[in-house]
Amino acid sequence: MSKKHFAIFIFLLFLVLNSTAQGSVKQMNSLNKGPKLVVGIVIDQMRWDYLYRFSELYGSNGFNRLVRKGFSCDNTLIPYMPTYTAPGHTCIYTGSVPAIHGIVGNNWYDKATNRTIYCAEDLTAKTVGTESGAGKMSPRNMWTTSITDELKLSNNFQSKVIGIALKDRGAIFPAGHSANAAYWYDNGKWITSNYYMNDLPNWVKQQNAKDLPSFYMSKDWNTLLPLASYHLSTSDDQPYETPIKGEKSVTFPHMTSQMNTDKYESFKYTPYAASYTFDFAKSAIENEKLGAGKVTDFLAISISSTDYIGHSFGPNSIEAEDAYLRLDKDIAGFLQYLDNTLGKDSYLIFLTADHGVTQVPAFLNQHKIPGGTFLDLAIFNELNQSIEVEFGIKKSVLSVQNYQVYLNKEEIILQQKNVEEITQKIISLLKNKAYINNAVKTEAIELASLPELQKKMFVNGFNPKRSGDIVFTTLSGFLEGSNKGTSHGAWNPYDSHIPLLFFGWNVQQGNTYRETYMTDISATIAAMLKIQMPSGNVGKVITEAMKVRKND
C-alpha cells in the first residue's frame, strides 16, 4: 500500500470511528437523559392470551407493534389474591402487595366504623366537575408511595403526573398521592376531586362540552369485521350473556343510537369508551404539554370498558373479541400520535392488566368443563343462621367478601363465647360446601396446609387492619356472582396471568418466559429512570427488558 493510499485509508477510518463514536455518545446521552414521557397503559380485565389469540386479526401497528418492537414478559403473574381492579392498579404502580399498601379489594369491611367502605372513598373530598357525589374520592386509603410519586420526588416535583380512567380507582391509585390531576368518568363527563383542584381546567371543560359520548353512541355498535370472521368466539346469541343496560338483545348490532335514558351508563359497556379515553389522553398531553419540559412526565391511562364488556358477555364472546380488535386500532392511533408529538424512542410505555377473568361458568359447563357460581350473601346468611342455632349468637359474621369472612369478635366475646371455637365451626361449614376447596384462619395462613403458591398469594393479600378473619378458596371455574356473565378475583391463572409489555425508550427488543410479577413493573421503571423505588416495593428489576448502558 502506497503512502498516499495509506493516508486515505487512515482518514476514512477516522471518519467512520468518529461518526460511530458520536452516534454512540448521542445514544448514551439520550438514554441517560431519560424519556420525555412515561405512559402506563392498564387494560382492565385483559388476559395474557389475548395478545396472541387475536394476533392474526390485529393490525401491525397496535398490539403487534408493541410485541414485535418491544419486550414482552410472557409469564407475568399477580402475587396475591383477591385479584380485583383496585389492588391490581395499586400493585402495578407501588410495586407492593395489599399486605403493605393497604388496598385489599375494591371494597372491604371496616371494623372501626362497622361498615363496608369503598377503596378510594374520601368523605372529606368534594366533586369537581358535576353536582354528583362521584368525586368524593382520593388516594388517602393507599399507604405507600407510587412510582409516580417517586418520579415527582426525584426532581423536587417538577414532573407532571396525570391519571385517566373511566373508573375512579383506575385513575386515582396509579396517579399517586402527589399527582397534578386524576380524572374519571361520571354521567358523560370527565370529573375529579378537590383533593387535586378546585375547578376543572378550561381544556377539560371544553372536552366535556363536546359531549363525545353522545357522538359515539349515535353510531350503533356493529362488528368491525364480517361476523363470520369471529371464528375464535362463541356464536352470538347466548342465554348466559347480560344485555347492555337499555337493550334487551345480546346480539349484534347493538342499537346504541336508540339508548336514551341510560345512554351515559351504557356507553361504558361499548368499545367506544376506550376511544373516548384515548381522545382525552391526547388532549391531556397537548394541553398540559406533557413531555415538553426538561424533566420526564408521567401519564397513567386505564382502559375500563374492556372490564365492563367482559363481565357482561364473557371472554369467549364476539363482543369481547370485537372490543379488542377495536382497542388494537386505538392503541395504534395513540402510538402514532406519540411518534408525531414526542418522536420515536422519546417516550417509554408499559402495557399490562390489573387482572384476568374466568370463563362464563355456563359456557364451561356446555363443554363439560367444571364451573359454577355462588353468592357471598347466601354464605353470609347461612353462616349467621348456623352459628345462631348452635351457639345462640346473632350476627356473628359481619361480612363475607373478597373470599373472606369477617367475624363479629366483639359480640362473640360479649356473649361470653369462645372465638376460636366459633372460628373453627365456620371453617368446617365452609369446607363442607361442594365448591369450596379450603378455608383457613387468615392470621395462621403460614401454618396452613396449602400449596406454596396459594399460601404466598394469601399472605401477600392479607392485611390485619382490613382483611377478614377467614379466607377460603373455591374449585377451578367457580366465581361469586349470578348465572349470567362472569367475574374474577381468584388465585387461578385465568385471573392472575396478565400481559406485560415494555416499549420505546431504553427498551430491549425480545421476550422472556421466566416468572415475573406485577410487582416488578415499578421496580423496572424506577431502574430505567434511575429513581428510587416506591416505599412499599417488593418487586425486582426485569433487567432483560432494558438496554445495557455502558456506564452501568
Residue 116 β-bridge partners? 109
Measured in residues, the chain has a length of: 552
Chain position carrying cell 376543572:
200
Phi, psi of 162, deg, nearest 5: -135, 135
Tell me what pLDDT residue 490 has. 96
Q: Is 62 exposed, middle or buried (0-12, 13-18, 19+ CB in 10 A)?
A: buried
Q: How many CB atoms within 10 Å of residue 422?
A: 22
Task: Identify whether the C-beta of residue 326 lies closer than 8 Å to the C-beta of residue 271.
Answer: yes
pLDDT digits (tens, 9 = 90+) for 68-115: 999 999 999 999 999 999 999 999 999 999 999 999 999 999 988 999
Residue ranges in the chain whose pLDDT is less than 50: 16, 21-31
Of the candidates 241, 268, 246, the residue with the CA atom closest to the CA atom of residue 257 = 246
The region that residue 344 occupies, defined by phi over 0 for left and psi between -120 and 50 for alpha, beta otherwise, is beta
CB atoms < 10 A from the CB of 247, how many?
17
Report the candidate in 511, 455, 461 with the shortest Cα–Cα distance to residue 76.
511
Helices 85-94 and 147-154, axial angle in degrees (round to 10): 30
Chain mean position to CA 504: 21
Pairwise CA distance, residues 88 & 78, whole Å:
8
Q: Kind and range of the H or E element at 324?
A: helix 318-342
3-state secondary structure of 380: helix
pTM: 0.93
Report which of 75, 45, 84 is spatially closest to residue 491, judged by C-alpha positions: 84
Q: Which helix (H) or strand (E) holds 485?
A: none
Question: What residue ranges do the domains of the chain occupy?
Answer: 34-359+501-545, 372-475
- 386 CB-side CA count, 13 A: 17
Predicted pLDDT of residue 500: 98
How far apart CA 48 and CA 73 sit, in angstroms, is: 10
How far is it, in rounded angstroms, from Cα 165 to Cα 163? 7
Who's near 37: CB < 8 A, 6+ residues apart? 285, 290, 291, 296, 297, 298, 299, 338, 342, 346, 347, 348
Residue 447 confidence (pLDDT): 82
Take residue 320 and report the three cell numbers written for it: 369481547
Q: Which amino acid is at 117?
A: I
Instruction: State the Cα–Cα distance between residues 498 and 492, nearest whole angstrom.
Output: 12
Question: Known catalytic residue: 85?
Answer: yes
Strands (E), 156-227: 161-165, 181-186, 189-193
Residue 486 near residue 314 (C-beta atoms within 8 A)? yes
Amino acid 3: pLDDT: 56
Name the strands in the sheet holding 470-474, side by side, starting at the edge strand that comes first in the sequence. 397-401, 404-407, 470-474, 436-441
Q: Which three cell numbers stand for residue 24?
A: 454512540
Q: Are 186 and 136 in contact (CB under 8 A)?
A: no
| CATH number for the domain whose boundaries are 372-475 | 3.30.1360.150
34-359+501-545, superfamily in CATH? Answer: Alkaline Phosphatase, subunit A (3.40.720.10)
Backbone angles phi, psi at 545, to 5 degrees: -80, -10
Contact 28, 551 (CB under 8 A): yes
Q: Find the angle CA(31)-CA(32)-CA(37) to the nearest 5 degrees.
A: 65
**Residue 70 and residue 504 in contact, taking contact as beta carbons nearer than 8 Å:** yes
What is the per-residue pLDDT for 338?
98
- Give dist(CA 43, CA 499) in Å, integer: 9
- Hey, which residues does 181 pair with through a beta bridge? 162
The one catalytic residue in 76, 85, 94, 223 is 85
